[in-house]
């Protein structure tokens, strides 16, 4: 048997060879990108990827090594796709996971030009709601070979089993096959509903997220979370399945009411407080530069999702403010928007010395720092929450801007925090 040192030297040598081969492989990928661009071909070619996978796996004699090698190959192909997207500079950003790449196109006017970015020469079930200007879904439909538009009522009520079932029925009736797709045009509710329909129909078909609110752009449309509310519990049923792509057209934000913009800014403030002091500084400017802050927030979100897609650890940071926020949202009977509740929910989770700065930031962004709601109703909703278990409730705390930690608390610990948010605590 070789000595450990010798074996490690061999590994180093093989790694160096692999690095060199990887560089060569990516140089070829660059040529392929140029050819695809010249011929107008899509970057992703599932048939070709399957062939590469099968042919290479057949080269591995030891069956114990095949699953690991398959994962490596998938990761390599995903990296190649991401590299092509970047080279063709169509995607601003990308969520790159072991077996998927989700390009994020953030372009003014992208909605009018959607077929440049998305594969629309198939049946496309466009899901939107009656709170979203209908011209957005119509603009997308205009670019699709075989579109259908399903408009659901605006609001959380559409994240229900009944609306989801109805949507699946329509997809089935229209004859959508595995190679067809769903496109969500609207805010977070539409994204969750359409995303879950796409994840569950025929065991999963492609989904494009086309968020038209700041909240959905900065957070909900990226990362693959999809959900329905069930049994009185928010997001109780769902799946994590990455969209094929996310298309954001910031021009749609120009007509978004100020309150809706502030709603999205709350989620961006969440990213700033937990992960990005520079983003916090941008948010404190009198007129925060929307595109810059959106890009920074997306970079935080992508980094988190790429490291912890299944929310086993790091991704919990994105729940900052949401434990109390969801409770307040349930208790205030629809008077407050999601972002407004999350903004409130973040305040008591910040260290006392930080709170004046956070209050000032919330006020500056047009978000409330106090609200009228029943703290006991909020506690009851939190007790139902899926993040609550026998050991307590996992919460995210921020002691310094850009630094966060997890803390498990008991339900009763949240009572004074909630009361502190009332107009007259």
Which stretches of the chain bind ligand GLY, using CB under 6 A?
Answer: 219-220, 223, 225, 315, 318
323 within 8 A of 395, measured Cβ to Cβ: yes
Considering beta carbons, is residue 241 or 315 the nearer one to ligand GLY?
Answer: 315
* Backbone φ, ψ for residue 228 (5° rounding): -120, 155
Choose the catalytic residue: 123, 234, 270, 301: 301
Considering beta carbons, is residue 92 or 309 the nearer one to ligand GLY?
Answer: 309
Considering beta carbons, is residue 308 or 374 the nearer one to ligand GLY?
Answer: 308
Q: What is the nearest approach in angstroms of ligand GLY to the Cβ of residue 337?
A: 15
Q: Is 322 a catalytic residue?
A: yes
Choose the catalytic residue: 44, 123, 225, 270: 225
Considering beta carbons, is residue 223 or 264 the nearer one to ligand GLY?
Answer: 223
Q: Is 13 a catalytic residue?
A: no
Considering beta carbons, is residue 140 or 304 the nearer one to ligand GLY?
Answer: 304
Considering beta carbons, is residue 143 or 316 the nearer one to ligand GLY?
Answer: 316
Q: Is 225 a catalytic residue?
A: yes
Q: Is 241 a catalytic residue?
A: no
Q: What is the nearest approach in angstroms of ligand GLY to the Cβ of residue 222?
A: 7
Considering beta carbons, is residue 321 or 375 the nearer one to ligand GLY?
Answer: 321
Q: What is the nearest approach in angstroms of ligand GLY to the Cβ of residue 323?
A: 13
Reported as half-sphere exposure (CB side, CA atoms, 13 A), residue 339 has a value of 28
Between vectors from CA 241 to CA 245 and to CA 137, what angle results, nearest 5°? 45
Provide long-range contacts, Cβ within 8 A and 24+ apart, for 251-255.
Answer: 251/108, 251/109, 251/111, 252/111, 252/133, 252/136, 252/212, 253/213, 253/214, 253/217, 253/290, 255/133
398 within 8 A of 351, measured Cβ to Cβ: yes
Q: Is 338 a catalytic residue?
A: yes
Residue of minimal Cβ distance to ligand GLY: 318
Considering beta carbons, is residue 129 or 309 the nearer one to ligand GLY?
Answer: 309
Distance CA 53, CA 155 (A): 43
Q: Among candidates 36, 78, 32, 89, which has minimal Cα distance to 53? A: 78
Distance CA 211, CA 184 (A): 7
Q: What is the nearest approach in angstroms of ligand GLY to the Cβ of residue 318?
A: 4
Q: What is the nearest approach in angstroms of ligand GLY to the Cβ of residue 88?
A: 27
Q: What is the nearest approach in angstroms of ligand GLY to the Cβ of residue 392?
A: 20
Strand, helix or coil for residue 247: strand
Q: Is 267 a catalytic residue?
A: yes
Q: Is 311 a catalytic residue?
A: yes
Task: Find the distance separating the first CA and the last CA of the chain, reported in whole Å.
Answer: 72
Torsion angle of alpha carbons 280, 285, 288, 294, nearest 10°? -20
Q: What is the nearest approach in angstroms of ligand GLY to the Cβ of residue 283?
A: 18
Distance CA 338, CA 163 (A): 21
The token pair that represents 380 in the structure block: 């009851």
The token pair that represents 67 in the structure block: 């699953």
259 within 8 A of 215, measured Cβ to Cβ: no
Considering beta carbons, is residue 103 or 223 the nearer one to ligand GLY?
Answer: 223
Compute CA 253 distance to the chain's CA centroid, rounded to the nearest angstrom.
18
Distance CA 185, CA 190 (A): 7
Across the beta sheet with 181-186, the strand order is: 93-97, 100-106, 245-248, 206-211, 181-186, 123-129, 146-152
Q: Is 203 a catalytic residue?
A: yes
**b/e burial code for range 97-117 (CB count within 10 A of at least 16 → b):** beebbbbbbbbeebbebbeeb
Q: What is the nearest approach in angstroms of ligand GLY to the Cβ of residue 9?
A: 43
Q: What is the nearest approach in angstroms of ligand GLY to the Cβ of residue 11?
A: 36
Choose the catalytic residue: 241, 263, 322, 340: 322
Provide the annotated active-site residues: 203, 225, 267, 301, 311, 315, 319, 322, 326, 338
């Amino acid at each position: 048997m070789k000595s450990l040192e010798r074996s490690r030297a061999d590994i180093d040598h093989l790694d160096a060879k692999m690095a060199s081969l990887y560089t060569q492989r990516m140089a070829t990928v660059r040529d392929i990108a140029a050819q695809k661009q010249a011929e107008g071909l899509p970057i992703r070619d599932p048939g070709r990827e399957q062939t590469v996978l099968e042919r290479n796996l057949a080269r591995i004699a030891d069956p114990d090594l095949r699953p690991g090698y398959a994962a490596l190959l998938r990761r390599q192909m995903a990296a190649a796709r991401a590299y092509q997207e970047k080279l063709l500079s169509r995607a601003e950003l990308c969520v790159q996971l072991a077996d998927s790449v989700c390009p994020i196109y953030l372009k003014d006017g992208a909605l009018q030009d959607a077929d440049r970015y998305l594969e629309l020469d198939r049946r496309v079930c466009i899901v939107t709601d009656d709170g979203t200007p209908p011209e957005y879904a119509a603009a997308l439909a205009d670019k699709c070979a075989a579109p259908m538009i399903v408009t659901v009522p605006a609001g959380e009520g559409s994240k229900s089993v009944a609306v989801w079932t109805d949507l699946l029925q329509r997809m089935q009736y229209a004859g959508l096959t595995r190679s067809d797709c769903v496109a969500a045009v609207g805010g977070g509710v539409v994204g969750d509903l359409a995303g879950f329909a796409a994840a569950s129909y025929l065991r999963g078909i492609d989904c494009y997220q086309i968020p038209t609110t700041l909240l959905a752009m900065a957070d909900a449309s990226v990362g693959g979370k999809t959900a329905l509310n069930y049994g009185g519990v928010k997001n109780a049923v769902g799946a994590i399945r990455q969209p094929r792509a996310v298309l954001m057209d910031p021009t749609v934000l120009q007509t978004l009411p100020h309150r809706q913009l502030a709603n999205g800014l709350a989620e961006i403030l969440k990213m700033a407080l937990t992960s990005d002091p520079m983003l916090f500084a941008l948010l404190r400017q009198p007129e925060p530069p929307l595109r810059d802050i959106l890009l920074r927030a997306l970079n935080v979100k992508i980094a988190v999702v790429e490291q912890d897609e299944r929310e086993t650890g790091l991704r919990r940071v994105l729940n900052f403010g949401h434990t109390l926020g969801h409770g307040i949202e349930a208790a205030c009977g629809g008077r407050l928007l999601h972002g407004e509740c999350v903004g409130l929910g973040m305040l008591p989770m910040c260290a006392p010395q930080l709170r004046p700065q956070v209050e000032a930031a919330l006020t500056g962004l047009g978000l409330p720092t106090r609200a009228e709601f029943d703290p006991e109703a909020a506690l009851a909703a939190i007790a139902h929450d899926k993040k609550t278990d026998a050991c307590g409730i996992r919460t995210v705390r921020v002691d310094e801007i850009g630094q966060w930690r997890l803390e498990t608390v008991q339900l009763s610990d949240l009572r004074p925090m909630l009361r502190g948010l009332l107009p007259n605590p």
